[in-house]
A and B are shown apart, each in its own frame.
With several copies, the nearest count.
Chain A
């Protein structure tokens, strides 16, 4: 088990953000792997739930999307969207979410809507889905990004989901009284946000990845002075991810 794939590192690193007792909003793909692995490895009392209304299902097989029948079996509750989003923002819960994006800016704001002009875009993406909602309402969220220069931008083509908005206390001034973006997990590294300015900085680089490579692939200037190497996936983490979470490698893909 010496080697591991990029997406395995990403899922495991992201999963480490889940704390026991967290109520975790789960999306498709890597987010599903991270949440399922995180619960199994670090946070047995975490509750996974889906925007479609499935609360704490047994997840014996990995769902391919959030409306997959596999989020309806063995659940505590099968409900609907209204119920789910009211959980996301519930004051008595620590809710965290995983989101993906096509573009991200230095304050962790996300674009999942389009590239180019909104009305006649060069490329159209699916849209917000629940991303705008959980970015606004959850206690915090973590972003998955493919680490490419064009995805880390000074100005988003469309601001779908609010992270730290314009930095400093601008998120709170918007009227969003809690939450914000906790970290960005890419295929090269982990970015976090300065506590005061809320600007993105390099927090961790994966084993074998140089800081130069990260800087080269990031379209915005970032502080790298605080970077440390990420603890590599342990054998146990890899075993659970591969054998328990996605044994069919439906999301992990070929070895």
Chain B
């Protein structure tokens, strides 16, 4: 805790961060969205450490979620969307796991899940919305009564209530707050003081982080305290919401990181293909996760040529003219 020089002591390694904060059975929220800013290096480390039975809570998730499901780390899922856009309209290992009955899951919508994180961040037990009325999201439950009694799992999927502020008929959906055990996310910048700055879209990362009991952040760059505090309007999370910080350049590959690198279309296409076949997928994991002991090794395997192609333009924040088919 000797942080009175204004510098945080929370810097650590991928290995230590995962070991300390993520347990088998943990409820985990993943930052990013489909193919952007997924905390991939953290996902790979979770797989390498053989963590099982995770309960994942997310809105629209793609690569990190799919690789965790494929590696058998996930027992349970609350989700709005499992896809990688044009690179996997439905994420393949996610699809298979559900079709095979391998995971317990429950569907919400993107706004519903984001509002649930917001409620968690605000410290309120539920939040109302009109979204969902008439949908099977209201009628079809996925969790068993036993699951609903578990610690930190909502007792009911949702509740429909008459708006008490009007005499007219006005049904409202109440969504239970989400308070993950851990939120993992990848940011562009973290200050030496522990302040987090995300550039480009923030998705629901900030709500997810504030709703959680612990937060692990990987980042592209560590910057000085003076730099990050010279424009505090741009920062997203103060140090006290963050529990572990790891500098991991290209920590979101093969997903994108605004201002740093684009998503890797070849890798994503290759992944979708191998994910279709159990044996091929096992080989993929061996090759890209289990067979590598560090993120540096991973990047060597990706190769400098690819990294150069993916490099974002300083003007647009993405790789102009990248071959994306």
Contacts and interface: CB of A to CB of B under 8 A. Distances in A.
Contacts of B237: 77
Majority SS of interface residues in chain B?
loop
Contacts of B170: 175
A80 B115 CA distance: 12
Interface in B165-198: 169-172, 179, 191, 193, 195
Interface in A77-126: 77-82, 85-93, 109, 113-114, 118-126
A103 B220 CA distance: 42
B77 to A, nearest CB: 10
A1 interface: no
B112 interface: yes
A33 to B, nearest CB: 12
A132 interface: yes
Contact of B134 (A113, A137, A165): A165
A154 interface: no
A44 B4 CA distance: 5
Interface in A132-167: 132-133, 136-137, 158-162, 165
A18 to B, nearest CB: 13
A222 interface: no
B235 interface: yes
B320 interface: yes
Contacts of A251: 86
Interface in B60-81: 60, 79-81
B229 A66 contact: no
B129 to A, nearest CB: 8
A104 to B, nearest CB: 14
A51 B4 contact: no
B122 A65 contact: no
* Number of chain B interface residues as a range: 35 or more
A251 B325 CA distance: 9
Contacts of A120: 99, 101
B48 to A, nearest CB: 26
Interface of B: 1-4, 32-37, 59-60, 79-87, 89-91, 94-95, 98-99, 101, 107-112, 114-115, 118, 121-123, 130-137, 140, 142, 169-172, 179, 191, 193, 195, 200-207, 210, 213-214, 228-229, 232-233, 235-241, 256, 258, 262-263, 265, 312, 316-318, 320-321, 324-325
Interface of A: 20-21, 23, 28-29, 44-45, 47, 51-58, 60-61, 64-82, 85-93, 109, 113-114, 118-133, 136-137, 158-162, 165, 171, 173-176, 248, 250-251
The 10 closest A-B pairs by CB, nearest first: A65-B85, A44-B4, A69-B318, A129-B81, A67-B36, A133-B111, A126-B83, A132-B109, A67-B33, A85-B111
